[in-house]
Amino acid sequence: WMVAYVMDDGPIRYYRYDRGEKKAHFLFTNRNELEKQPLVKMNPVIVKSRDGLNLVNYLSLPKGSDSDGDGFPDQPLPMVLLVHGGPWARSEWGYDPEHQWLANRGYAVLDVNFRGSTGFGKDFANAGNMEWAGKMHDDLIDSVNWAVEKKIADPDKVAISGGSYGGYATLVGLTFTPGVFACGIDIVGPSNLITLLESIPPYWAPMIEMFTTRVGDHRTEEGKKFLTERSPLSKVDQIEDPLLIGQGANDPRVKQAEADQIVNAMEEKKIPVTYVLYPDEGHGFARPENRISFFAVMEAFLAEYLGGRYEAIGEDFKGSSITVPEGKDGVPGLAAALAAHSNE
């Protein structure tokens, strides 16, 4: 038998199991360099929602922050709340590069499986129906409150970050519950649920009925009113916390207009925002050079508002297509790095 041994603080290790010998023989690991790194554990935690649901979340802590090994830090830490995309997906236990990176920079990392996530049964998934910016968001706030009560998180230094639905959740966090988060990072997230549903690509057309059941019906006046109420764009004047937006210009699912319209609305109201746009990316950042460049901006942004460690941007834009249409002065070193990059 071939056996893959999955860990949270190291790469996958592959073994050949000899049934005759009843012994496993190590073959290889898929990422040798990770074996040498000070990686951290990912601890499953159960958070009770305000209406009694069990939320299976995952917590990672910086190396050396938990001296007695009880799964909680010795003192409250700046924390990044991660919100997965989908939302009909889930966060899972195991090695996660984003957890490792953020923990290395000094942050507690809490990954939330809010209602609507898959993998926990139909009732849990269906509990998210028509609850975008509703009870799905309450689950995120309940998770933050849990982390504060357990003295995991410094209540004044909690960021929210995510991609796709997680980007939407970030925008909801800053518009529906201003002041809870010190800052937010929205990656390819929709800002207007009506334009999101109206721009569904043709190959997703069979899913329209699912969206009307789970999100709202953009084809009726009543549905449009509901979707407007649940759209961050309708509450943009509530934003009082720093926001970083990342977007691909070729995104077929969450079109560039979703980012453009909230950035424009913030500009009109003179609310600062940093907008990073990649002309050669789609729904997420596929090119390694672009991913590296965005993470360089992201960690400098987090350091500015949460106080964690970061590496100066330096040459991290090399080979990337990064553009910053708005807010290049809102992140330490960003303007200088862009100027150097344009001269390459």
Q: Omega before 11 cis (within 30°)?
A: no
Residue tagged 């109201």 (tokens):
269
Task: Confirm whether 161 is a catalytic residue.
Answer: no
Amino acid at 252: P
Report helix, strand or coil for 111. Answer: strand
AA identity, residue 17: Y
Q: Which of 99, 218, 283, 341 is catalytic?
A: 283
Q: Is the dihedral of CA 271, 274, 278, 283 positive or negative?
A: negative
The answer to whether the CB of 169 falls within 8 A of the CB of 143 is no
Q: Could you say which of 164, 191, 293, 320 is catalytic?
A: 164
On the CB side of 250, how many CA atoms lie within 13 Å of its CA? 8
Burial class (CB in 10 A: 0-12, 13-18, 19+), 114: buried
Active site residue 251: yes
Is 341 marked active-site?
no
* DSSP 8-state assignment for residue 282: B
DSSP assignment of 149-164 equals HTT-EEEEEEEEEEET
Listed in sequence order, the residues at least 6 apart from 36 whose beta carbon sits closer than 8 Å to its beta carbon are: none
Looking at 138, 217, 251, 260, which residue is catalytic?
251
User: Which token pair is 145?
Assistant: 């409150």
What is the rounded CA–CA span in Å between residue 223 and residue 219? 7
Cα distance between residue 70 and residue 73, in whole Å = 8
**Contact (CB, 8 A) for 283 and 253:** yes
d(CA 203, CA 280): 21
Which amino acids are annotated catalytic? 164, 251, 283
